[in-house]
Amino acid sequence: MNKETIHARIEEIGIIPSVRLTSTEDALFAAEAVCSSGIPIVEVTMTVPGAVKIIHSLTSGSPDLIAGAGTVLDVETARRCLDAGARFLTTTGLDLEIIEFAMKKNVVVFPGACTPTEIMTAWKAGADFVKVFPCSAMGGPGYIRALRGPFPTIPFIAAGGVNQTTVAEFILAGANAVGIGGDLIHQEAIRRRERDWIRELSRRYAGLIKQARSEKAPPK
């Protein structure tokens, strides 16, 4: 898949499950459970032990899976992730060097940004999406709605505190997609190896996003 295809798939599916766990085994279990639910996207954060190896395992075993690297802090880590097969890069904060690197490698990148200044800077630097983080701490869906006024065309990914109660509100407020971690991949589901628990939540979130988009769409 090329950059344009990956960009389109992320926007189409509208949900980026984020795997941020404390062991390699738990992370692989979570990623595979999410992907088997019909969401072929997963972000493996660099805080997970063996994160680069996990990305390699996921991408080499499933060529249609869009596995990306999250919480990338420097270009060298970004390079190792791409070598392992990562198909997108995302950061918690705004790092212009990583955006520039991703552009040179023709890879989808969505940096974290919080303020209007950071959002403008990220977009002008060439970001494919701008990940508004931490969204809930800044006012939740209301913050996305407020940003939509001055930034009507920048594609936003709302991340940080998105849950079943608020996910539809974020979409209705103007988010193109959402990033979800612990509210999708529950620690208890991991501990008990409840694959169906994660699958059911994944399907539920996908359904909530689809319903919100249908409500948002203009009448034909």
- Cα–Cα distance, 220 to 207 (Å, whole number): 22
What are the phi and psi torsion angles at 112 (to 5°)?
-75, 140
Q: Of 135, 180, 168, which is closest to residue 43 (Cα–Cα)?
A: 180
HSE-CB at 193 with a 13 A cutoff on CA atoms is: 3
Catalytic option among 3, 118, 124, 131: 131
Active site residue 131: yes
Active site residue 104: no
Residue 171 token pair: 């979409």
- Residue 196 Cα distances to 50, 184, 192, angstroms: 25, 12, 11
HSE-CB at 35 with a 13 A cutoff on CA atoms is: 22
Catalytic option among 12, 25, 43, 53: 43
Catalytic residue list: 43, 131
